[in-house]
Structure 1
Amino acid sequence: MVIDKRSAALVVVLLVCAAALAASAVGDGPLLNGNFEYPPNQSQMNGTTVTGENAIPYWKTSGIIEYIGSGQQQGDMILTVPEGAHAVRLGNEASVTQQVSVTRGVYYSITFSASRTCAQKETLNLKAAPVSGYPAQTGELPVQTVYTSCGWDAFSWAFKAEAGIVSFTIHNPGQEEDPACGPIIDAIAIKTLNQPEPTQNNMLMNGDFEEGPYIPPDSKSGVMVPPMDEDDVSPLPGWKVMSYKKVVKYVDSAHFAVPRGARAVELVSGVETALVQEVYTTVEGSWYRLEFSVGDAGIGCGASSADSSSSPGGGMKVKAATGANETIVDVDFGGGSKRGRLEFQANTSPTMVVFVSLGYHTKSDNSGTLCGPVVDDVSLVAIPQPSARRLLR
């Protein structure tokens, strides 16, 4: 059969279109079958174990994967499913992968729910790999700490799209004695991350925290933002989480008391975690004013540890620091929010803005749910030096 140039070009176009259709073309929200409610092909199942790599619609699997039903029992333990009726459990060296259609050069965040089962020191590896031509972006998320009483937490991770189609993978690197032991994964979603620019009225990027990872509309627990290495893309544009294994929580005004706007950050890990932004436009020797709001999340945060840094009479403390300069703001339980201010002379450039909770707190309902003060509406502006301000008066 003879194929002319026009026909050959049409074949190439059709092949490219077919490849694009093989990837999930989704907007902000759940990935295709991201909640795993479409069941595996029963011919590729052995009990609850998935035996075929393409058995779960829209997903490719490897290793020991179990298809879990809500309330399923394992020994004396009842397995929890974060959303809906089904989820998957990743055994040792197991993974789930989906190809996603994205826009090259754009930043994205992934939100997913994870529940620890029989392993104690679980971590998850995440990867966004362009189909060809670019190295994969990878990250590691600690999931051994359970922050909520329901037994699972929502986590976030971010990447920059280096190609129009990427393969997103969640992998369990665990090496447990029971090869099927591992975390339960559910409710996987994606969101485009805008990158707000600093303005003349605020030298900070995303100081109001309105830009951040996808929060499911019916989620009452917020989304965890994990610690990040220097080169990682942050799910919270402009901000980094400095910690060894702990997180901060990204919350919304639908379920938490937010000082201003629709989003804020709850410091749930005490002194083990810092929320940080480096500002590269400050000038050494110049004067600046940092202002911010801190408050009670309005979720019944009421119990403090015996840490001596907790506020007298029961309350919370937030430390804001810029290099050697710092200020501490007290927040009463159930006391709304307060405005904090710190005026300082930049000792170095860039200037690092840091927020830390000085106590450990849990909800007063005895559920064990970790909680803490909320930080919001942060601004940094240049001001005249003190002598010049006196002359201006």
Structure 2
Amino acid sequence: MTGGARSRRVLLLLLLVGVAARAASGGGIDGLLPNGNFEQGPDKSQMNGTRVMSPNSIPNWVISGFVEYIGSGQKQNDMILPVPEGPYAVRLGNDATIRQQLSVTRKAYYSITFCAARTCARAERINVSVGPESGVLPVQTVYTSSGWDSYSFAFKARHTTVWLAIHNPGLEDDPACGPLIDSVAIKTLDPPRREKGNMLRNGDFEEGPFIFPDTAWGVLVPPMDEDDVSPLPGWMVMSGTKSVKYVDAAHHAVPRGARAVELVAGREAALVQEVPTTPGRWYALSFSVGDAGNGCAASEAMMTVEAYAGREAARVPYASRGSGGRTRGGLEFAAVANVTRVVFQSYNHHMKRDGTLCGPVVDDVSLVAVRKRAGRRLLL
């Protein structure tokens, strides 16, 4: 065997070992599901107008209830139904469900990202489930001028094959009324551990749900119960119906790294992480506050992030011009329990000129134990 052939064989072997190791770890699943953008549609013989009549007529999906196959620019009365990517999407009318079976790695964590838009129902919401994991995503609030938002949902795989279901539980007088769905993707999550120098997990927000590279509006992380699997590992969103937005450096100004969180709902949503602490011991929390460079300018009031930990609180203001930038803030606190909640929320509501909600960005969050109080706390 020649030296060149031997080198190519060794290289091929190393590549195969790397692929096998990645597959064994549950990685490698990132991007659109098969026919996740619904570009492969039903035959006309399987449709009644726009309604899809056969359960298996949309390739790779199983449907039930009132499901429509919608073309971009299609009208309903005087309303145009836009499609965010490609020429087609589906609409989930009364009690409608779309399902797809996924091959996953048992005990691995995954996030689902999909685009959704309201149409004509009064109180639209979407139920997402994978096996026993399920959640209700409210879609009443629209966060983009286009009307389309990206939503995220996470689960831990109980088996090697699972069913993803997206369901509209609504029952309207017009059975077609319901949300439009497009671009369904999956990502393997690698939940980060606490590392030396930071007691928080995922304090830089680098691990999170899939962000579509051709969309500039980020991904909403919806409110969740405390026992839910979070699409933003380490963090929970506490709210009734509002979300926070996960943004990327490709389309936004990010204080550090490639990802950050935009607090788009004022005091109506809080970003929370619980961390083990020792009662009576002092800790220092520090973080960056900025704007996403998306035109969210604080014209009348400063963008302000409120932070809470133990019995202490701080307000960190930032004079935003909507073009990016950051400041550093923090607080010190004495723990009063074995577990302390670190909480962030926007002090005010903010809107861009097009009327869509926006807010301050939080990033690069660090928590460390300190020997004594240093007196650098930012007071309310």
TM-score, normalising length: structure 2 = 0.89
2:354 corresponds to 1:352: no
Q: Which residue of 1 aligns with 2:319?
A: 332
Which consecutive unaligned segments of at least 5 residues does structure 2 have?
A: 1-26, 375-380
Match for residue 285 of structure 1 among 280, 287, 294:
280
Q: Is contact 2:311–2:333 with CA below 8 Å preserved after alignment?
A: no
> Which piece of structure 1 moves more, 79-88 or 372-381?
79-88
1:216 lines up with 2:205 in the alignment: no
Q: Which residue of 1 aligns with 2:294?
A: 299
Q: Distance in 2 between matches of 1:382 and 1:51?
A: 61
Question: Aligned match of 1:152 in 133, 148, 151?
Answer: 148
Selected match of 2:354 from 363, 367, 376 = 367
Partner of 1:376: 363
Report what 2:304 is aligned to.
Answer: 317
Q: CA deviation at 1:166?
A: 0.3
Instruction: Write the deviation string for residues 167-189 of structure 1: whole angstroms up to 9, x where unpaired.
Output: 00000000111111100000000
- Give the letter for the 2:229 counterpart: V
CA distance in 1: counterparts of 2:360 and 2:269, whole angstroms: 13
Aligned mates of 1:315, 1:216 — CA distance in 2:
31
Is this contact kept in 2: 1:26–1:101, CA < 8 A? no
RMSD: 1.3
Offset of residue 80 of structure 1: 1.4
Counterpart amino acid of 1:336? G
Shift of 1:46: 1.1
Deviation at 1:200, TM superposition (A): 2.0
1:26 Cα shift? 7.8
DSSP-derived class of the 2:176 partner: coil
Q: Where does residue 243 of structure 1 map in the other structure?
A: 239
CA deviations on 1:155-176 (whole Å, 9 max, x unpaired) are 0000000000000000000011
1:204-241 CA-partner distances (Å, limit 9, x unpaired): 00000000000001110000000001211000000000
Q: What's the CA shift for 1:283?
A: 0.4
Shift of 1:333: 1.3
Q: Which residue of 72, 78, 81 corresponds with 1:70? A: 72
Alpha-carbon separation, structure 2, partners of 1:341 and 1:88: 46
State the alpha-carbon separation in 2 of the partners of residues 161 and 288 from structure 1.
36
Distance 1:41 1:324 in 2: 62
Q: What displacement does 1:386 show?
A: 3.5
Q: Which of 76, 81, 84 is the matching residue for 1:82? A: 84
> What one-letter code is carried by the residue in structure 2 that aligns with 1:284?
P
Q: Secondary structure at the match of 2:297?
A: strand
Alignment partner, residue 18 of structure 2: none
Matched, 1:234 2:230: yes
Deviates further, 153-162 or 34-43: 34-43
Give the aligned residue type for 1:174: G
1:188 pairs, out of 170, 176, 184, with: 184
Q: Residues 126 and 138 of structure 1 are in contact (CA less than 8 Å); yes or no, is this contact kept in structure 2?
A: yes
* 8 Å contact kept, 2:310–2:341: yes
CA distance in 2, matches of 1:233, 1:80: 32
- Is 1:314–1:333's contact at 8 Å kept on the other side of the alignment? no
> Which whole-Å deviations, capped at 9, do the CAs of 1:18-70 have from their partners, x for residues lacking one?
xxxxxxx9820000000001111222111111000000000000001100000
Where do 4+ consecutive residues of structure 1 move more than 3 Å? none
1:57 to 56, 59, 63: 59
Trace 1:93-172 onto structure 2 (pairs within 5 A). Answer: 93-129=95-131, 136-172=132-168
Counterpart residue type for residue 309 of structure 2: T
Structure 1 residues 274-321: Cα deviation after superposition (integer angstroms, max 9, x where no partner)? 0000002x10000111010010111111256xxxxxxxx532110111
**Alignment correspondent of 1:5:** none
- Count the aligned residue pairs: 346
Give % identity: 62
Q: Distance in 1 between matches of 2:122 and 2:289?
A: 33
Q: What is the alpha-carbon distance in structure 1 between the residues aligned to residue 330 and residue 109 of structure 2?
A: 32
